[in-house]
Amino acid sequence: MPGMLEVLVRRTRGVTLTVLAGVALMACAPGGAQQSPAAERSGPEARQPRTLNSVMRVEPASLAAKPLESTGISVAHAVRLFNAQLDLKDSREVTRPYLAEAIPELNSESWRVFPDGRMETTYRLRPNLTWHDGTPHSAEDFAFAYRVYSTPELGRAASPPINQMEEMLAPDERTVVNRWSRPYPDAAELGLDFQALPRHILQEAYETQEPQSFLENSFWTVDYVGLGPFRLERWEPGAAIEAVAFDGHALGRPKIDRVVVRFMTDENTVLTNLLAGDIDFASDRTVRWEQAQVLRNEWGASGGGTVILTPIQPRFTVIQLRPENASPAAILDLRVRRAFAHAIDRQAFNDGLFDGAGVAAETHITQKAPYFLEVDRAIVKYPYDPRRSEQLMNEAGFTRDRDGFYASAVGERFTAGFLQEAGTQTEREMAIQVERWRAAGFDVQVSVLPSTQLRDGQARSTFPTFYNTATSPAVRGGERNLGNFTTDSSGTPTNRWRGSNYGGWSNSEYDDLWDQFNTTLERSERNQQVVEMARLISEDLPLYSLYWNFNVSVHRADVGGPDPEAVDTLVNANIHEWEWR
């Protein structure tokens, strides 16, 4: 029925996924068929290109699928617009061929494993591929990209899968041969982990420029040339990116002619623009649960659009474990970290943030993972228990002073610094967490990281005690996000603070397990490696898992094509098929 709000609730292994779909209020043509506004027009007006107005939370550091500089926050929408890789993961996490005609199959001519553990995968590219500037695309662009990414000075050589590649060859213009130095189980699903680079644009710069100059080359930003469904037309720094449909796109020209991506850091500003009809699509955490409820209520009556809510992004507290940055130094004591853990009230997050509809988290592995029950049995849990928290602090040499806060035997108060990312929901999250910690006897001093600093790796890695943040959405059950906590992922002055291991945790057993996970082909063995990594995190406590954040994707009713059951940042995987209703 027009104007009715449809609520779909699905339960998958104990996780409730709620999809709120607004049904458009439109005039009905004879026979019950809905008639779109475009259908009412005729003549030249009907052929006028219409722009999809969209929004991102921050301005991207790069438009590349695999940038040389970390973006620091999800920019999946822009990445999808301008890039195409060998394969594409669709909105349901199914990997499909994209630039390639087919995906390699293990133990076939396209994916061979040799007795010494080395491998070789082969892709056959689609014919007649071109870059956005009209230059023919060939296998040599992949071989050139490997040379770039494997250059240590450019900062990507140690990242998977680059660190397991031996060489990439182009025996002819449509054949890509990837030789691996050791087994890599995701060799047929490279996706965003590897992309071709335009040799005709970058080769001279790569061969003549110093690494820093190459990193700052305008190709990565305002002069970007890719292979995706849309071509960069204009980038107005600080304001917006404008794109037009690319006729030479591998999967066909997009049905929508133009896309504008505006930058808005404030969720309520995004909400206002959505309600006013000035934005057609929003994702990448530009709005949160609170704004989603407003949209649901407004659009439920008018049929104005669709809100997709998926509890898939892990929110967690990172603990500073670099001795040179940790303050107070006692946070390096495991008993102290466990004391704070027992003073976290996950139910309070659920009630205060999501009106009881939230999903608590005690690990980065989701309940959708087929081995979740094994993880759940293996990890150490820290139920909300202020009395146990006090016991642990006493064991570590701290007792409460006359104001009720913990202090050392010589009377020095334990004062923890707490860094929180700006935002309406995140700042409420901070208030709930700090209130419980202070009630339990912990003096906590808070500061807020502005959205404009989310790309500042140093600011995100040198906090004194605690930092609340999130990883990418937990696709593949969340196992890929475990790579964020290896020693190699730690930001340092040497690597210009690149890395997602913001607390600087280092555990050799964990590093070995992650390495094994990325070199083991047998799925059952990989599952056990994930279980062990989750156990080590829970025992050593480099972080506290808090809850599964509802990532929100929103589109207005006249935008057709988004999958209502999409996995968060994959919602626009098929954006080349979107159309105006």
pLDDT tens readout for residues 150-201: 999 998 898 889 999 999 999 999 999 999 999 999 999 999 999 999 999 9
Dist CA 2 CA 199 (whole Å): 52
Assign residue 397 a region (left: φ > 0; alpha: ψ between -120 and 50; beta: otherwise): left
* Local confidence band at 564 (pLDDT 50, 70, 90 cut-offs): confident
- Does residue 44 surpass a pLDDT of 90? no
Q: Up-side HSE of residue 375: CA atoms within 13 Å toward CB?
A: 24
Tokens of 428: 């409420």
Whole-number Å distance between alpha carbons of 382 and 345: 10
Please give the distance of CA 226 from its chain centroid, rounded to a whole number.
21
Answer yes or no: pTM beyond 0.85.
Answer: no
Give residue-wise pLDDT tens across range 93-131: 899 999 999 999 999 999 999 999 999 999 999 999 999
Q: Bridge partners of 87?
A: 97
Distance CA 374, CA 370 (A): 9
Distance of CA 62 to the CA centre of its chain: 15
Task: Look at residue 13 and tell me whether its pLDDT is greater than 60.
Answer: no
88 touches 65 (CB < 8 A): no
Would the pLDDT of 224 be above 50? yes
- The whole-number pLDDT of residue 159 equals 84
Q: How confident is the model over 451-467, as a mean pLDDT?
A: 91
Helices H, strands E: what count in the chain?
A: 15, 23
Categorize the per-residue pLDDT at 25 as very low, low, confident or very high, splitting at 50, 70 and 90: very low
pLDDT band per the 50, 70, 90 thresholds, residue 499: confident
H or E stretch covering 393: helix 386-395
Give every CB contact of residue 371 below 8 A, 6+ residues apart in sequence: 365, 477, 527, 528, 530, 531
At residue 476, the pLDDT reads 80
Tokens coding 409: 């035997």
Mean pLDDT computed over 493-520: 93
Lowest mean pLDDT among 69-83, 89-103, 302-316, 496-510: 69-83
How much is the average pLDDT of 481-504?
91
| Residue 533 dihedral angles phi and psi, to the nearest 5° | -65, -40
The Cα–Cα gap between 306 and 235 comes to: 28
Per residue in 348-362, is it b (16+ CB within 10 Å) or e — as a string?
ebbebbbeeebbebb
User: Is residue 360's pLDDT more than 90?
Assistant: yes
**Cβ(409)–Cβ(400) below 8 Å:** no
84-215 CATH fold: Dipeptide-binding Protein; domain 1 (3.90.76)
Query: Cβ(550)–Cβ(474) under 8 Å?
Result: no
Q: How confident is the model at residue 9 (pLDDT cuts 50, 70, 90)?
A: very low
> Can you give the residue ranges of every domain in the chain?
84-215, 312-549
Is domain 312-549 annotated with CATH 3.10.105.10? yes
Task: State the chain's mean pLDDT as an integer.
Answer: 89
User: Would the pLDDT of 42 be above 70?
Assistant: no
- State the pLDDT confidence band at 71, using cuts at 50, 70 and 90: low
The residue that leads in pLDDT, 312 or 46, is 312
pLDDT at 15 over 50: no
Q: What percent of the chain has pLDDT over 90?
A: 77
Strand partners, 88: 96
Least trusted range by pLDDT, from 36-40, 211-215, 222-226, 561-565: 36-40
Listed residue (469, 194, 463) closest to 315, CA to CA: 469
The residues with which 348 forms a beta bridge, in sequence order, are none
- The per-residue pLDDT for range 245-304, each reduced to its tens digit, is 999 999 999 999 999 999 998 999 999 999 999 999 998 889 999 999 999 999 987 889
Asked if the model's pLDDT at residue 32 lies above 50, the reply is: no
